[in-house]
């Protein structure tokens, strides 16, 4: 809500309403003139000075027609006040001229009502008093003592003042309600405007987000294609060199460097693509199959043992752990946790992988004796691009994008599970990364319109 804009708008709205009201009152006055002249022409025979009365009514018609002109040049308040004064003068003229018509004072009531509706309670009472005085003056000047007009004077004056109070109260209720309604209307319009602005902003942000996602998707896809072939050829080259030369040659060492760097790059690009796909679908897509988790754990541990011969890596798991989960995705989480344990703990430091069989769930724990995570950062490390920086010794020393744990969390949550980290209490240092998920996962209902493919315009350029 912006009061600075709402207040002038409200004032303008009320001003417009008052102008419309004044124009409508012109119509009412003209109708009274026509009726009055018609009445006087047909039945005005016994009324003294009826031609003067007709002249007065013509005068009313004249100033009524002047009001719309004045409204185009002057503020509405003074024009309305001028109308009230002219009406008062006219009614006083009528009462004066038709002094033999004893009920003519009732015309004052019309003027009081008009004042009350336009200006409210105080104006209504003041107008009723002013008119009572005018009436008093006219009657005292025109009626003989002891006539009915004189005798009834106090009652009539009382009537006019009471009428002023009642009309004032009436207008307070009506005008008050009308003002409250206008304010409400104004607030409603403001809120609608605000909602429209917000929708615009959200649409713009969604557009920007989509553009960023599309860009990321295009770049990752484009990088992935050459990387895949570099990786494939360097693997081939390494295998050839290995079989052709009995000893480690320089060429073989160089090819191994290329292979390890390209594998690292490929992992980064895969992580970017994964995050992009998770964004597009609103979560990690899970395709559960039946498999034995114990097998996957054994394979993962054997793989690390092969790649890191200097590491002591142990597995403690039941012989068989049948589950219904996304095998590839679970393997991805496991690999990420074990690779982190290797990366963030000293060379040769022990790594333990354990699986616990709960009644309806399985829990996997990966422990190391490494750097550990400061307590205040334990929640944050599952956020995207978050990397622990506790001064010299860590920082960007280890490279990476800080996406692995965010992807792992999306995968675990996609299975309806949770992932966390704790201090490695057993070793007294280092950390434990653990996840727990149902034995049988129900894939969440994700955004089915999203696709793993890059946006369509990339497909055209992919063949270059």
Closer CB to ligand ADP, 107 or 435, in the complex: 435
Distance CA 161, CA 112 (A): 9
- Per DSSP, the three-state class of 289 is strand
Closest approach of ligand ADP to the CB of residue 375, in Å: 13
Closer CB to ligand ADP, 334 or 381, in the complex: 381
Task: Check residue 120 for interaction with ligand ADP (CB under 6 A).
Answer: no
Give the sheet arrangement for strand 431-438, strand by strand: 313-316, 351-357, 361-368, 431-438, 418-423
Distance CA 356, CA 257 (A): 38
Closer CB to ligand ADP, 147 or 377, in the complex: 377
Rg (CA), the chain: 46
Closer CB to ligand ADP, 160 or 341, in the complex: 341
Closer CB to ligand ADP, 84 or 434, in the complex: 434
Closest approach of ligand ADP to the CB of residue 440, in Å: 27
Closer CB to ligand ADP, 115 or 387, in the complex: 387
Q: Report which residue's Cβ sits closest to ligand ADP.
A: 400
Closest approach of ligand ADP to the CB of residue 334, in Å: 13
Closest approach of ligand ADP to the CB of residue 304, in Å: 13
- Per DSSP, the three-state class of 344 is coil
- Residues 379-418 within binding reach of ligand ADP (CB under 6 A): 381, 386-388, 400-406
* Beta strands 322-325 and 289-292, pairing class: antiparallel
Check residue 100 and report its DSSP letter: T
Please answer whether residues 368 and 429 qualify as being in contact, where contact means their C-beta atoms are separated by less than 8 angstroms: no
Q: How far is CA 157 from CA 113, 151, 154, in A?
A: 16, 11, 5
Closer CB to ligand ADP, 157 or 373, in the complex: 373
- Residues 202-231 within binding reach of ligand ADP (CB under 6 A): none
| DSSP secondary structure, 358-372, as one string | -SSEEEEEEEESSS-
Closest approach of ligand ADP to the CB of residue 258, in Å: 21
Please answer whether residues 348 and 311 qualify as being in contact, where contact means their C-beta atoms are separated by less than 8 angstroms: yes
Backbone φ, ψ for residue 389 (5° rounding): -130, 95
- Residues 335-374 within binding reach of ligand ADP (CB under 6 A): 336, 340-341, 344, 368, 370-373
Please answer whether residues 361 and 438 qualify as being in contact, where contact means their C-beta atoms are separated by less than 8 angstroms: yes
- Residues 412-451 within binding reach of ligand ADP (CB under 6 A): 431
The total number of residues shown for the chain amounts to 464
Backbone φ, ψ for residue 325 (5° rounding): -140, 180
Window of 11-19, 45-53, 245-253, 333-341 that interacts with ligand ADP by CB under 6 A = 333-341
Closer CB to ligand ADP, 50 or 365, in the complex: 365
Please answer whether residues 230 and 261 qualify as being in contact, where contact means their C-beta atoms are separated by less than 8 angstroms: no
Closest approach of ligand ADP to the CB of residue 350, in Å: 13
Q: How far is CA 66 from CA 56, 82, 91, 119, in A?
A: 15, 11, 18, 21
Distance CA 218, CA 456 (A): 10
Closer CB to ligand ADP, 105 or 344, in the complex: 344
Closest approach of ligand ADP to the CB of residue 389, in Å: 8
Closest approach of ligand ADP to the CB of residue 407, in Å: 8
Closest approach of ligand ADP to the CB of residue 393, in Å: 11
- Residues that contact ligand ADP, how many (by CB under 6 A): 21
Closest approach of ligand ADP to the CB of residue 362, in Å: 21
Closer CB to ligand ADP, 108 or 344, in the complex: 344
Distance CA 264, CA 385 (A): 17
Q: Which residues bind ligand ADP (CB under 6 A)?
A: 336, 340-341, 344, 368, 370-373, 381, 386-388, 400-406, 431
């Amino acid at each position: 809500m912006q009061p600075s804009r709402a207040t002038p708008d409200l004032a303008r709205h009320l001003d417009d309403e008052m102008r419309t009201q004044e124009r409508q009152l012109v119509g009412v006055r003209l109708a009274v003139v026509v009726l009055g002249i018609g009445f006087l022409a047909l039945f005005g025979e016994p009324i003294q000075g009826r031609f003067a009365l007709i002249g007065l009514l013509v005068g009313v018609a004249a100033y009524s027609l002047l009001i719309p002109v004045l409204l185009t040049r002057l503020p509405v308040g003074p024009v309305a006040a001028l109308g009230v004064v002219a009406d008062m003068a006219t009614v006083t003229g009528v009462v004066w001229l038709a002094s033999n018509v004893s009920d003519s004072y009732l015309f004052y009531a019309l003027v009081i009502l008009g004042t009350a509706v336009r200006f409210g309670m105080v104006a209504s009472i003041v107008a009723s008093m002013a008119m009572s005085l005018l009436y008093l003056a006219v009657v005292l000047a025109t009626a003989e003592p002891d006539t009915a007009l004189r005798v009834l004077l106090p009652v009539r004056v009382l009537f006019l003042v009471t009428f002023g109070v009642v009309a004032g109260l009436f207008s307070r209720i009506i005008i008050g309600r009308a003002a409250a309604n206008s304010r409400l209307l104004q607030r409603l319009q403001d809120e609608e405007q605000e909602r429209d602005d917000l929708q615009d902003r959200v649409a713009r942000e969604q557009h920007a987000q989509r553009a960023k996602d599309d860009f990321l998707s295009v770049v990752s896809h484009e990088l992935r294609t050459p990387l895949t072939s570099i990786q494939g050829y360097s693997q081939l080259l390494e295998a050839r060199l290995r079989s052709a030369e009995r000893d480690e040659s320089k060429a073989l060492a160089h090819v191994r460097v290329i292979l390890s760097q390209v594998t690292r790059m490929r992992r980064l690009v895969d992580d970017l693509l994964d995050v992009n796909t998770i964004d597009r679908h609103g979560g990690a897509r899970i395709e559960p199959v039946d498999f034995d988790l114990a097998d996957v754990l054994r394979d993962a541990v054997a793989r690390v043992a092969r790649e890191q011969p200097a590491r002591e890596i142990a597995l403690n798991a039941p012989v068989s752990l049948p589950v219904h989960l996304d095998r590839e995705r679970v393997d991805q989480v496991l690999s990420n946790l074990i690779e982190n344990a290797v990366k963030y703990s000293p060379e040769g430091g022990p790594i333990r992988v354990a699986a616990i069989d709960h009644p309806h769930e399985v829990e996997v724990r990966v422990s190391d004796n490494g750097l550990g995570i400061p307590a205040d950062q334990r929640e944050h490390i599952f956020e995207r691009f978050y990397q622990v920086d506790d001064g010299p010794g860590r920082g960007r020393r280890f490279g990476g994008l800080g996406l692995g744990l965010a992807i792992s969390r999306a995968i675990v949550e996609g299975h309806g599970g949770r992932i966390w980290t704790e201090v490695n209490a057993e070793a007294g240092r280092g950390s434990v990364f653990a996840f727990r998920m149902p034995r049988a996962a129900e894939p969440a209902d994700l955004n089915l319109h999203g696709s793993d493919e890059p946006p369509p315009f990339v497909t055209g350029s992919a063949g270059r």
